[in-house]
Structure 1
Amino acid sequence: MPLTHIALRSGRPESYRMSICDGVHRAMSETFNVPENNDFLIITEHEAANFRYDATYLGVARSDDLVFIQITANNTRNVEQKKALFQRIAQLLSEDPGLRPEDVFISLVEVERENWSLGHGLAQYA
């Protein structure tokens, strides 16, 4: 049950933003066994003054096309699955909408299954 927050600079067309959502969801389906209908992604756009990043941290040359992707998911995946997810997201987003892999910044936040309520105030996975 991933919940994904995607942040980018404002001004991109809807098709660009939807390509990012589609690529991230596809990568999660392929590498994390996320069902097709488990589709919960939020996009926020930010003006330049509200979107800060280091352009060369750890030797990665980032540009203003940088996209932050934060995925909150159950802590049930191993290191190999996580690496596969990161690689697949970067690959798919380089294909469409054409992001450079250097501009794909991913953070995975893992939580226990009982920490979700998907509606009705219930802990569906507890």
Structure 2
Amino acid sequence: MPIVRINISKDAKSEVVKAVSDTVYEAMINVANVPKNDKFQIISRHSSDELVYPAEGYLGIDYTPGIVFIQITWNSGRTTDVKKAFYKAIADGIHAKTGLRKQDIFINLVDVAREDWSFGNGDMQYAPKE
């Protein structure tokens, strides 16, 4: 049910992009209890002027041009503890696989209702039971 949007520098190597993609998917499966094969991702590469962040930092975190924006839209209902573990798994995993700074892993979750999805055919696969 999740759809993941990954926005990354156009200078990122293909191996880094794949590692980011795979790490997010692994965290969805292992931490957030997302079903296997539920891997829908949109990966966009951007020039440096298209990845905008506060140069002076925010909330005590400093950023570099290596910033990666990850936005995940998924069904609501996960606890704060699950979300915290999910963020950590992604940041730790990306850092371990690529060397990217954890500070540069920006994650945003968008919680939606189950009926807010159509996986094709114009059907509402998760329609409420009547």
| TM-score bracket for the superposition, by shorter chain length | over 0.9
Residue 31 (structure 2) pairs with residue 34 (structure 1): no
Could you tell me how far apart the structure 2 residues matched to 1:31 and 1:8 are? 23
* Amino acid across the alignment from 1:64: P
Residue matched to 1:93 = 94
| TM-score (norm: length of structure 2) | 0.93
Number of aligned residue pairs: give it.
126
CA RMSD of aligned residues (A): 0.9
* Amino acid across the alignment from 1:95: A
Residue matched to 2:2 = 2
* Amino acid across the alignment from 2:100: L
* Amino acid across the alignment from 1:15: E
Residue matched to 2:112 = 111
**1:21-73 residue CA offsets vs partner (Å, 9 max, x unmatched):** 00010011111111221111111011112111113111101111100000000
| TM-score (norm: length of structure 1) | 0.96
Identical amino acids, percent of aligned pairs: 40
Higher Cα Rg, which structure: 2
Q: Which runs of 5+ in 2 are unaligned?
A: none
Residue matched to 2:59 = 58
Structure 1 moving runs of 4+ over 4 Å = none
| DSSP-derived class of the 1:59 partner | coil
